[in-house]
Amino acid sequence: MPELPEVETIKRGLEAAICGRRIIDVVINNPKVIKAPSADRFSHLLKGMRISRIFRRGKVLIFSLSSKRHKELFLLIHLRMSGQLVYPGQGIKARVSFKLSNGKLLDFNDQRLLGELKVLKRLEDSLFLRRLGPEPFDLNSRDFTKMLSKRKTRIKPLLLDQSFISGIGNIYAAESLFRAKISPQRRAATLTYRQADRLLYSIIAVLKEAIKYKGSSVSQYVKSDGKQGRYALYHKVYNRKGKPCFSCRSKIERISLGGRGTYFCPQCQK
């Protein structure tokens, strides 16, 4: 479900709702989603810890936890395809439910069980975080052009590569390429400076707009208050196969690239 704008929306919602709360209990209804350490150790470590700060890196949500008696710990949450964080939660259908010091629940729901929860002593212990590419907002055109110039692969799968650039998923890759008028099939290194510049600023604009509308609720994604984001209303190509392009009225096409559905306008995107 969640790409950068969805995770950022959840982060902001939780920041306002649960920062400063203590975790009193952890109910694990499906240990499959606990990737480290063991489920028992996971709850033991978390009990009594205070949620002091919440941040985001790429699509990963990170809770920084503290207590007087223990060293700082990090709870990493990757929602993958169908994960949700809902507060206050019901605890019923949750894979994992955190009981907080105010008696309310923070639910981790995940229909497809692909999500991951981890407790780490240090962020450097996460190989995924260590390998994560830069946040789109931190890049400039010159760096981005240079990064692209070294890669022979197609631009769209490259945008999905989290070690190349972090936070972009299937929806926003498609929307950004449409906005930049670049075909998803172009080889990365063939983009001119002008095109790379346009692509970077399209990515940033699309992500910011999506954050403004609190993410795209296509099927599973909800905000931390359980309500939907509205950005799907503004998608120009994603999920619009056969529908007229908003710019030139040609039919939007869907092809498969790197095993992922890829939507684009064959007329506008070159």
**Number of residues engaging DNA in binding (CB under 7 A):** 39
**Structure token pair of residue 137:** 């907002």
**Structure token pair of residue 88:** 């206050």
How many of the other CB atoms lie within 10 Å of CB of 215? 27
What three-state secondary structure class fits 230?
strand
- β-sheet bridge partners, residue 230: 216
* H-helix or E-strand spanning residue 41: helix 39-46
Would you call 184 a catalytic residue per the annotation? no
Q: Name residue, tokens 């007329």.
A: 267
Q: Which of 59, 154, 156, 186 is the catalytic position?
A: 59
Segment interacting with DNA, rule: CB under 7 A, options 18-26, 117-125, 169-177, 196-204: 169-177
Among 64, 67, 101, 162, binds DNA (CB under 7 A): 162
Among 220, 230, 246, 255, binds DNA (CB under 7 A): 220
Would you call 41 a catalytic residue per the annotation? no
d(CA 136, CA 250): 30
Contact 241, 255 (CB under 8 A): no
- Taking the complex as a whole, the smallest distance from the CB of residue 80 to DNA amounts, in Å, to 4
Among 22, 47, 181, 260, binds DNA (CB under 7 A): 260
Segment interacting with DNA, rule: CB under 7 A, options 38-46, 48-56, 154-162, 192-200: 154-162
Query: Considering the rule CB under 7 A, would residue 61 count as an interface residue with DNA?
Result: no
DSSP assignment of 24-36 equals: EEEEES-GGGEEE
Query: Considering the rule CB under 7 A, would residue 184 count as an interface residue with DNA?
Result: no
Contact residues for DNA (CB under 7 A)? 1-3, 6, 32, 58-59, 78, 80-81, 111-114, 127-128, 151-154, 157, 160, 162, 169-171, 215-221, 229, 257-261
